[in-house]
């Protein structure tokens, strides 16, 4: 019976722990992780009061065989993420709130 289920999937604790769950505000996407991180840093500098309590992070995804990195800030609720994104848009920073 155990063989029918196979081996349990392994989890990378470092990468798993580094991606907050809940709601996020995505501000950019880039084919280079360093660029995505730089965009997070720049956005933090442009809107420090809006992002003071947010956690910046990147998330890799693949599209058309190419790996891209999403630049996101984590929030605890949909309301907080939406409020932050609206404040960023007032500062001419494109973004959208997303559940992850």
Measured CA to CA in angstroms, residue 34 lies from 1, 43, 92 at distances of 46, 14, 23
Domains held by the chain: number: 1
Residue 16 lies in a domain: no
Integer-rounded Cα Rg, in Å, for the chain is: 16
**Can you give the pLDDT at residue 5?**
45
Does residue 10 form part of some domain?
no
Within the chain, which residues score under 50 in pLDDT? 1-17
Q: What's the pLDDT tens digit per position in 67-79?
A: 999 999 999 999 9
Write down the pTM of the prediction. 0.78
What CATH number corresponds to the domain at position 25? 3.30.70.1070
Which domain, by its residues, includes 95?
21-99
Which residues make Cβ contacts (< 8 Å) with residue 76, sequence separation at least 6?
A: 22, 23
């Amino acid at each position: 019976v155990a063989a029918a289920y196979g081996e349990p999937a392994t989890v990378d604790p470092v990468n798993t722990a580094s991606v907050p769950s809940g709601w996020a505000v995505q501000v950019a996407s880039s084919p280079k992780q360093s660029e995505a991180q730089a965009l997070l840093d720049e956005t933090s500098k442009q809107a420090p009061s809006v992002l003071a309590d947010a956690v910046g992070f990147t998330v890799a995804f693949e599209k058309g065989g190419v790996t891209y990195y999403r630049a996101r800030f984590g929030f605890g609720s949909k309301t907080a993420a939406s409020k932050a994104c609206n404040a960023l848009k007032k500062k001419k920073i494109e973004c959208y709130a997303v559940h992850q």
